[in-house]
Chains A and B, each alone.
Chain A
Amino acid sequence: MASNENNSSGQAGQAGQEDLFSASIKAGFDFWQTAMREMLEITNSGQAEYRPGSFHPFTAGSLQELTHAVQETWLNSGLLDGEDLARGVVKSLDNAMEMTQNWIEELNQLIQQGLNGIQQSLSEPHQDKQTPPFQAMIEAYSTSMQKMLNMPKLGLSRGYQERATQAINKFNLLTTVVCEFSLLLIQPVQHSLVKMQHKLRESPESGGYSEDVKKYYAMWIKMLEGGYMQLLQSPEFVNSFHGVLLAYMEFRSIYEDVMQDALRDIPVAKKNDLEAVYKENHLLKKEVKAMSARIEKLEKKFEELESYKHN
């Protein structure tokens, strides 16, 4: 019974939608007919007057007519009051809201994981070996947001969409590795401050405190320098540094593709075009130089032959 009701209401809904579609088409045709008629009348009576920045009266009037006609059609169809459509709309809204909420929650989790990592790293600077603070965040990102960005794109603009979402994806990854790298760079500051505290605590036993603030600054900067020297040579830093470079290059590459897409319709030369010219120029120059050298050699030989002939 329920399924029958659903079927019949579904069929009614479908019929209603068809009516609505027909009515919209009719309204559209009416609009163009009226517009053409008005335009002909204006042209014939010589009333046409162009005012920059404003709609021509006939166009403005006709647009109003069209909007009105479409509104009327929708309202009179009674479809907006129909149970199926209303339920459908509500359901879609619910789904959209749920999806958005999920993404927001996942994003929150991502941010929280990142913040936890930072906090852990800052509060335990003395620990040499700890899990990379952003690792959890990167993993969470790869299972949530990245998946969404990597979803296959469809249609005519597929390529553009793919490049745009990849640019967002690579930017997110770059931001993450830059944060991780920055955190690594802050570590010597943390270490040196902790060391400085120890040093101050030990001062009474090792000769007492100094009243000169500059001495403490000099001591700290030396510790900081030492800390950096140690960090900058470590495989951890080198890997992170190369990771930043790689992420930057990946982002830059896709970003340039997006920019080239954006420049397609603007009459300016793109990077690829210019590079092709540079390459050609370089090869031509090489060829010209090689030819000049050959000509010079030939000229010398020719001169030798000439002098041989004269002698």
Chain B
Amino acid sequence: MSGGSHTFPLVQMMENMKQYTLDMNKRMFRAREVLGGNLETGIASTPYEVEYQEDRVQLKHYQPEGGSGYNFPLLVVYALINRETMLDLQPDRSVVKNLLDSGVDLYMLDWGYPTQKDRFLGFDEHINGYIHNAVQYILDKQGIEKLNLMGICMGGTMCAIYAAQHPEKVNNLVLTVSPTDFDTDSGLLHIWWGNKGFDVDRLVDLQGNVSGDMLNINFLLMNPARLMLDKYVNFMEHMDNRKFVENFLRMEKWIFDSPDVPGEIFREFIKECYQENKLINNRLEVGGQRVDLGKITMPVLNIYAVYDHLVPPAACEKITKKVGSKDAEDFAIKTGHIGIYVSSKSQKEFVPKICSWLRQRDAVPKKAAKNRKSRVQSPKRTTRTNMSSSAQ
């Protein structure tokens, strides 16, 4: 506060307050037009086709305009918490669009909205069921034996398990902000959920699925000052700026679009991973089979965010030392858990890194190339969907 007054500048502060209130009044007046006008707040506006569906789970296919520039398609598996629409939040900050622009033939799993009938679905049903069937669909359709697999957050944990149990199907594995080592106190979730005082059995037995709202309260509690107060103060200060408001509303829309999490998988995730840390120690069993990370022999790219408060670096770093692959790389980006996908800064780092890394590992073995020609099938098209919407 150098250069300030040495007596409390009450009069000047009152004058400032008055000016601030007058400015706010003007801003409110302008904001009326912005908020009452036609706001473009649609998310996930990149066109895609739903090519495969099993129960509530859909497999979306995004095709690059100029055709695929890679030999292997990329399947992205999002977490069961929140929705994959975050990867396509707005046209100028879209991981999906950036991947397509780089020529990636992109598939993405949309987990949908679980209902109570999904409460008994655990790791096995999600990994050896939904993920495996989606992978098999893509492989059959394209007549290939392997694909590139990329996991987001909890989706990455599931992808690591899948790659360990079905290494023959995965060409390259990309993990992004994916927790695999839960023995850390550097993130609040690890402190809250990792504590055995958190009786997840009782919660799941009682509620069935774990409600998205309940999880959201959990996430908001992680930083109440910023997420419940400062964020909205900031909104008030910029609410006359149409672009700011549109982006803010898109994010708000995504944050609170929270499907419930199937009870059984939540129970397994908390107990087996957060509380007992079985995955990194090769003690986790899925579908009656032990998950041996040593069986992950394909190249692995492990991307994490340095300032991630949900999945801290300590929860991500160890996996590259535990996998059986000799080609395993850690890549840290100086941003947060969500920022890694949506911040303008990481747009320049995140997708370019993935694409260049995949391109270097895109060679098709001769035997597989021969098979490929003989097994190509025509795609089964079902629906074409565009989720663009407006706040009106």
Contact of A211 among B6, B13, B117 (CB under 8 A): B13
- Tell whether B256 is near chain A: CB-to-CB under 8 Å: no
Find out whether the CB atom of B188 lies under 8 angstroms from the CB atom of A207. no
Task: Report yes or no: A275 in contact with B116, Cβ–Cβ below 8 A.
Answer: yes
Q: Are A249 and B202 in contact (CB under 8 A)?
A: yes
Q: With a CB–CB cut-off of 8 A, which chain A residues contact B20?
A: 213
Chain B 226-245, CB within 8 Å of chain A: the 1/0 string? Answer: 10011001000000000000
Q: What are the residues of chain B within 8 A of A253 when measuring CB–CB? A: 206
| A221 interface hit (Cβ, 8 Å) | yes
Cα-based distance from A252 to B197 in the complex (angstroms): 18
* Complex Cα gap A256–B7 (Å): 62
Contact of A209 among B1, B120, B191, B197 (CB under 8 A): B1
A208/B1 in contact, CB under 8 A: yes
Contact of A224 among B3, B116, B120, B225 (CB under 8 A): B225
Are B229 and A211 in touch, CB under 8 angstroms? no
Query: Taking CB as reference atom, which chain A residue is nearest B222?
Result: A232
> CA of A242 to CA of B198 in the docked complex: distance in angstroms?
6
Q: In the complex the two chains form, is B117's CB within 8 Å of A221's CB?
A: no
CA distance A156 to B202 in the complex (A): 31
Are A245 and B203 in touch, CB under 8 angstroms?
A: yes
0/1 string, A279-292, CB within 8 A of B gives 1: 10110000001000
CB contacts (< 8 Å) of A252 on chain B: these are 206-207
> Which residues from B are CB-within-8-Å of A200?
8
Residues on B with C-beta less than 8 A from A232 are 188, 191, 221-222
- Does A259 interact with chain B (Cβ within 8 Å)? no
A278-B119 contact in complex given A213-B17, A232-B221, C-beta closer than 8 Å: yes
Contacts A253-B206, A275-B116, A278-B120 given: A207-B1 contact, CB under 8 Å?
Answer: yes
Distance in angstroms from A209 CB to nearest chain B CB is 5
- Not counting A209-B6, A211-B5, A282-B121, a sample of 4 additional A-B residue pairs whose C-beta atoms are within 8 angstroms of each other reads A208-B3, A233-B191, A249-B202, A274-B116
Interface residues of B (CB under 8 A from A): 1-9, 12-13, 16-17, 20, 116-117, 119-121, 129, 185, 188, 191-192, 195, 197-199, 202-203, 206-208, 221-226, 229-230, 233
A residues lining the B interface (CB < 8 Å): 185, 188, 200, 203-204, 206-213, 215, 217, 221, 224-225, 227-229, 232-233, 238-239, 241-242, 245-246, 249, 252-253, 256, 274-275, 278-279, 281-282, 289
Closest 4 CB pairs between A and B? A208-B4, A225-B225, A224-B225, A242-B197
List, sorted by A's number, 27 A–B pairs whose CB atoms are closer than 8 Å.
A200-B8, A204-B7, A207-B3, A208-B4, A209-B1, A211-B4, A211-B9, A211-B16, A213-B17, A221-B230, A225-B223, A225-B225, A225-B226, A228-B224, A233-B185, A238-B192, A241-B221, A242-B195, A242-B199, A245-B199, A249-B206, A256-B206, A278-B116, A278-B117, A279-B120, A282-B117, A289-B129
